[in-house]
Amino acid sequence: MARAWHLKSRPTGMPTPDNFELKDLPATPLGDGQIRVRNLWLSVDPYMRGRMNDVKSYVPPFQLDQPMQGGAVGEVIESNNPGFAVGDKVMHMAGWRDEAVIGAESMPQKLPDLGVPLETWLGNLGLTGATAYFGLLKVAEAKAGDVVFVSAAAGAVGSAVVQIARNKGMTVIGSAGGADKCAWVKELGADACIDYKAGPVLPQLAKAAPDGIDVYFDNVGGEHLDAAFALAREWARFAICGMIDVYNDGKPQEMKYIIRTIPARIRMQGFIFTDYIQHMGEFQQEMGGWVAGGKMQSRETVHEGLEAMPDAFFGLFSGANTGKMLVRI
């Protein structure tokens, strides 16, 4: 019997186990063009918190008492589609469950055999890597010689940004919570890493970038964003990917230095990776080469079993992950 996590109630503030319920799914015979996939890896991502609110956004909210969704990779175990054979590995968006029936309207991507671990397609070769690539290179238009500041640099997207910037000849300053995470960020190629748990961000960033920054890749908001405003050079570009600092409590953002947007002519742009979906071929070719050539490292924080999905999700907001947060089925 297949099972899926359902949103039982909409959270106020930080979600709790009471907001979720694991339920059996009814047996579903395959229709024309459908495939049945046994999920092997499930992605856990901060953006899922926004989908738990009943508000209009770039993706529809999760529906109460309905199976939740998210990135997943798995194996085809039954097919009524000539384009997919039993045994094919696929990536799709029917996560938060151990088995999925998927139709032509949301057909998954058949994964080529590149000799990489399957879970890489949920990290550097998937949505995570594409978000980092498009945000840095398309939104911020970062180029060789730029000084790039990346918040949450030990997270899934941030760690990819660090390495892409390094591979493109940029100076990279990361921010992470704790000495161990900062050591890993520097291992990835960052020239410096700020430990935000060790003290205020601004003086540490000023020391690491005495001449200022050209690009800020924001995953956090709050104090990090304000420090970037304070130290931005003229014509700096900010790619706003996420603001995990306020996803749960919605507290006001206190910006002392946002006035520098005017004299420094800072360009600040929010984005989602699908804005640049037409560039997926470019991304997959370049990222695939880096992965194959050992120029992209990844680290995963893995929870075991479908039952662990909510705990893995909660861990995103307490800094429990280094690199990509995943659940292995």
Task: For residue 319, give its domain range.
Answer: 3-123+298-328
Q: Are residues 32 and 140 in the same domain?
A: no
pTM, whole model, 2 decimals? 0.88
Coil/strand/helix, residue 327:
strand
Looking at the structure, tell me whether residues 38 and 90 fall in a common domain. Answer: yes
Instruction: Report yes or no on 157 lying in a domain.
Output: yes
What's the alpha-carbon Rg for the chain, to the nearest Å? Answer: 20
Same-domain check for residues 115 and 166: no
Same domain for 174 and 143: yes
User: How far is the C-alpha of 168 from the C-alpha of 146, rounded, in Å?
Assistant: 10
Which of 274, 290, 311 is a domain's end point?
Answer: 274
232, 258, 274 - which closes a domain: 274
For residue 3, give both structure tokens: 């099972």
The residue length of the chain stands at: 329
- Cα–chain center distance at 66: 24
Same-domain status, 29 and 149: no
Q: Tell me the three state secondary structure of residue 324.
A: strand
Q: Is residue 286 part of a domain?
A: no
Q: Does residue 72 share a domain with residue 137?
A: no
Alpha-helix runs per DSSP H in the chain: 48-51, 127-133, 156-167, 179-187, 201-208, 222-231, 280-292, 309-315
Q: Are residues 114 and 154 in the same domain?
A: no
Is residue 96 within 8 Å of 104, Cβ to Cβ? Answer: no
Does residue 174 contact residue 150 with C-beta atoms inside 8 Å? Answer: yes
Residues 119 and 78 both lie in one domain: yes
Question: In angstroms, rounded to a whole number, what is the distance separating the alpha carbons of residues 169 and 207?
Answer: 21
The domain spanning residue 107 has which CATH number? 3.90.180.10
Helix (H, G, I), strand (E, B), or coil: what is residue 291?
helix
Evaluate whether residue 280 is within a structural domain.
Answer: no
pLDDT at position 260 is 97
Q: CA quadruple 248, 254, 257, 262: dihedral positive or negative?
A: positive
Whether 316 maps to a domain, the answer reads yes
Q: Is there a domain that residue 111 lies in?
A: yes
DSSP letter string over 89-112?
A: EEEESB-SBSEEEE-GGGPPEEPP
Residue 176 belongs to some domain of the structure = yes
For residue 160, is it within any domain? yes
59 and 147 in a common domain: no
Q: Are residues 119 and 138 in the same domain?
A: no
Tokens linked to 64 = 């109460």
Q: Are residues 51 and 91 both part of a single domain?
A: yes
- Please tell me the predicted confidence (pLDDT) of residue 295: 95
Total domain count, the chain:
2
Q: What's the token pair of residue 31?
A: 């229709």
Residue 244's domain is classified under what CATH number? 3.40.50.720
C-alpha–C-alpha distance, residues 130 and 161, integer Å: 10
- Max CA distance (Å), the chain: 63
Low-confidence ranges of the chain (pLDDT < 50): none
Say what the pLDDT of residue 250 is. 64
Q: Which amino acid is at 171?
A: T
Residues 111 and 204 in one domain: no
Tell me the C-alpha distance between 207 and 209, whole Å: 6
